[in-house]
Structure 1
Amino acid sequence: MYLSRECNIIEEKQSPIGVKKLSWEIKEHTKAKHKILKNYLGAWFPIMAFTNPKIIYIDGFAGPGRYKNGEDGSPIYALKIAKEIYEAHLNRLENKEFVFFFIEANKSNYKSLQHEISQLSLPKNFKIITKNEEFSETMEKLFSFFDTTGKGLAPTFAFIDPFGTKYVPFEIVKKIMSYTKCEVFFNHMYSGVLRSKDVTDHTQLYGTDKWKYCLNKPEKLTELYAFQLQDQAGVLYTRSFNVRNRKNAHIFDLIYATNNTLGLEKMKEAMWKADPLGNFQFRDITIPGQIVLFELEPDLSLLKKFLLNEFKGKQVSISEIENFVLLKTPYLKGHIKNKTLVPMLKDDLISVLRPTGSKSGFKEGTLITFH
């Protein structure tokens, strides 16, 4: 065990004596992925810490902590974001516990990670736990501890970003999601499934052998994984995001799982804020036929189409519309009123019945009829 400048760092191995020169060079699509995660953590940390005495952040494939040219790895920027939020709200958070699990199986990366964490000055109530072992191994030990003691997992956000063809058994993710207020953000790289011939690994990854029916349409593998989360793990809400280069070649898919509508809203906001420029693009691929590109000027004609398909011939409240957009489309609440309903009103696609005393806008209590 060793201590950083202020916070507690706990691990079972010796702290690093010699750290090899960093060799990982960050890729542009990794920067894009990290941007989404940063955006979301900026919302998740304060929301959860304000309302819970203890929260947990898990990075299952933590890496070396820093890239070749000095860029922060995901564990370091997670700690920095949490520290910034903690210091900005010290009066509300000084008695809260922030727990960080950083898991890295590669010994060289692990030593580098320990070194990078030790250079940070962090609050005393930040508890850092590092593990030099496989993600699944650490989680199985945690689950065994909880099952034995009767304790549960505190509100947790698990970032699962495996390297190459490494697999995370579906049962691990399912178990995480069985605890209250837990979320998973999973990098699903199905290219490894297409390359590997180990069918046992595939079945463990998806929790079913139905993956074999998707090999001719590999994009269906992400759809299968999200279905399994809802059907087998009981997850209420999932969103799937696709990252492609400008030549439309698939890079990876990101799958988010939560049982909380506020979390869903914040993750969608994080995706829209990321808005990758240059060589990459993000698309929401949650629902077949509803693929939406995240860009500075979104195509709101698709939102208009979704609303008409859902509500044509009906009179519904503005809150019903907002709920539909949040849960059933890739769009945000901010895309609804002025950007979509106002043009639809001008085009006589809807009529509006406002509450007494309200002459404009779409306040609570407003009823909209879709023609």
Structure 2
Amino acid sequence: MATKSGKFFDERTDESEAKARIIEKYFATWAQVVLTTAAGRGGKIGYMDLYAGPGRYKDGSKSTPLLVLEKAIQHPQMSQMLVSMFNDADDKHTSTLQEEIDKLPGIKTLKHTPQVRCGAVDEAFTEWLATTRLIPMFSFVDPWGYKGLSLKLVNGVIKDWGCDCVFFLNYNRVNAGFGNSIVDKHIDALFGEDRAAKMRPKLRKMTPNEREAHILENLAQAIKELAPRAFVLPFRFRNLNGTRTSHILVFVSKHFLGYDIMKGIMAKESSSEHEGVATFTYSPADQSNPLLFSLSNFSLSRLKRSLVKDYAGKTIVHERLYEQHSVDKPYLRPNYRQVLLELEAEGKITCSKHNRNTLAKHIEITFP
């Protein structure tokens, strides 16, 4: 992949398929969640793609805009509520995308005609997002590099009720950007000027794995500083050899339900597990070397130890425990259920009355 307008759309790779599946699955589930409430609050939901591309790869496979519209066409209620906007700075992309949209079977059944815009995602557009009240909106931001991607942009697309976003970050370029003063303003926009200034000298002394962890942690913290209620969930794509992270898909939401749904989707798209816990990573090399490329040491045994320590002397409802403890960790709801049942069987916790081998959300759990 050389440029967004060049080889990027030549062929759909396994990685781009995984990315598209994540976006398509989340959009469909998100829409189902917000439809009922949105119906009583204006009757509209939205999808916005700020770097939409031409709609298809050169091998003929569909990219995200067409997949999302097809999903809406197939759903009677969604087809009458979806407002969609597709933007790209390349006029060849937008003209081709418009042609592809017009050819979609059933496109005329959509109540709101998809809007295709040609323009840069610049400061003026970011300011418009920051000052405009959005309908419930799922936004996808894939700038290929990182130019145009900023904390203000991310906050602008998640600030209103029902608004979630995913952005696709070229980690290779961001990592290199910390050592290139020419692109300081773009790095500063993404991490915040003060934070980026503190990161630069630290990163120079770190190993590649330490750099990645530090960059990811600071990106999440920068987003949460601007939007304190935000949940941030990264999904990493490794290179062909599985040795380095090349891109990162980052999900941001202010709602735990959205975070929980996306965590389940990303876990299923992970190409490997580490001791029963999804790695939230797609690596082509995992097919032949599944144990070599886990970036974390999370495991069910570690979860068990953590719960016993963190909740010692406390009684808490199962669902509340899950919502508190699972944030910023890769564990899923079934992981907690399994571990808690094991702890109960071992006599290390007590639970209020429940059916055998199940643990409903309302069950009270007491840690001695």
Range into which the TM-score falls when normalised by the shorter chain: 0.7 to 0.9
Q: State the match for 2:259 in structure 1.
A: 264
Indicate how the Cα distance of structure 1 residues 273 and 369 shifts in structure 2: closer, same or farther if over 3 A, else same: same
State the alpha-carbon separation in 1 of the partners of residues 82 and 362 from structure 2. 40
Query: How big is the shift at 1:131?
Result: 0.9
Residue 193 of structure 2: SS of its match in structure 1? coil
Contact 2:318 2:360 in 1 (8 A): yes
Query: How big is the shift at 1:269?
Result: 1.4
Query: How big is the shift at 1:182?
Result: 1.4
- The residue type equivalent to 2:352 in the other structure is L
Structure 1, unaligned stretches of length 5 or more?
A: 1-19, 285-289
The answer to whether 1:161 aligns with 2:160 is no
- Structure 2 counterpart of 1:77, from 63, 67, 77: 67
Q: State the match for 1:207 in structure 2.
A: 192
Contact 1:37 1:270 in 2 (8 A): no
Higher RCO (CA < 8 A, seq sep 6+): 1
Structure 2, unaligned stretches of length 5 or more?
A: 1-5, 204-210, 273-277, 283-293
Query: How big is the shift at 1:59?
Result: 0.7
Indicate how the Cα distance of structure 1 residues 136 and 45 shifts in structure 2: closer, same or farther if over 3 A, else same: farther
Superimposed CA distance per residue, residues 192-239 of structure 1 (whole angstroms, 9 cap, x where no aligned partner): 231443212221222324224334224422222221211123343222
Indicate how the Cα distance of structure 1 residues 107 and 352 shifts in structure 2: closer, same or farther if over 3 A, else same: same
Indicate how the Cα distance of structure 1 residues 32 and 124 shifts in structure 2: closer, same or farther if over 3 A, else same: closer
Q: Superposition pairs for residues 151-300 of structure 1, below 5 Å?
A: 152-193=133-174, 194-195=176-177, 196=180, 197-215=182-200, 216=203, 217-245=211-239, 247-276=242-271, 282-283=280-281, 299-300=299-300
- Structure 1 counterpart of 2:112, from 108, 115, 126: 126
Indicate how the Cα distance of structure 1 residues 163 and 362 shifts in structure 2: closer, same or farther if over 3 A, else same: closer
Residue 122 of structure 2: SS of its match in structure 1? helix
Superimposed CA distance per residue, residues 104-152 of structure 1 (whole angstroms, 9 cap, x where no aligned partner): 11122222211111111222313311111113367347448xx5xxx62
- The residue type equivalent to 1:282 in the other structure is F
Contact 1:325 1:333 in 2 (8 A): no
State the alpha-carbon separation in 2 of the partners of residues 219 and 267 from structure 1. 21
Contact 1:325 1:332 in 2 (8 A): no
Contact 2:50 2:87 in 1 (8 A): yes
Residue 255 of structure 1: SS of its match in structure 2? strand
- Structure 1 counterpart of 2:36, from 50, 53, 56: 50
Query: How big is the shift at 1:360?
Result: 6.7
Indicate how the Cα distance of structure 1 residues 321 and 199 shifts in structure 2: closer, same or farther if over 3 A, else same: same
State the alpha-carbon separation in 1 of the partners of residues 52 and 334 from structure 2. 34
Contact 1:76 1:117 in 2 (8 A): yes
Query: How big is the shift at 1:274?
Result: 1.7
Q: State the match for 2:100 in structure 1.
A: 116
- The residue type equivalent to 2:58 in the other structure is K
Q: State the match for 2:19 in structure 1.
A: 33
Q: State the match for 1:17 in structure 2.
A: none
Between the aligned residues of both structures, percent identity stands at: 24
State the alpha-carbon separation in 1 of the partners of residues 326 and 236 from structure 2. 19
Contact 2:56 2:62 in 1 (8 A): yes
Query: How big is the shift at 1:162?
Result: 0.9
> Structure 2-normalised TM-score?
0.78
State the alpha-carbon separation in 2 of the partners of residues 231 and 272 from structure 1. 26
Contact 1:275 1:282 in 2 (8 A): yes
Query: How big is the shift at 1:300?
Result: 2.4
RMSD: 3.2
Query: Mean alpha-carbon deviation: is it higher for 33-42 or for 318-327?
Result: 318-327
State the alpha-carbon separation in 1 of the partners of residues 55 and 254 from structure 2. 30
Give the structure with the larger helix fraction. 2
Contact 1:304 1:340 in 2 (8 A): yes
Q: State the match for 1:354 in structure 2.
A: 353
State the alpha-carbon separation in 2 of the partners of residues 281 and 335 from structure 1. 13
Query: Mean alpha-carbon deviation: is it higher for 29-38 or for 303-312?
Result: 303-312
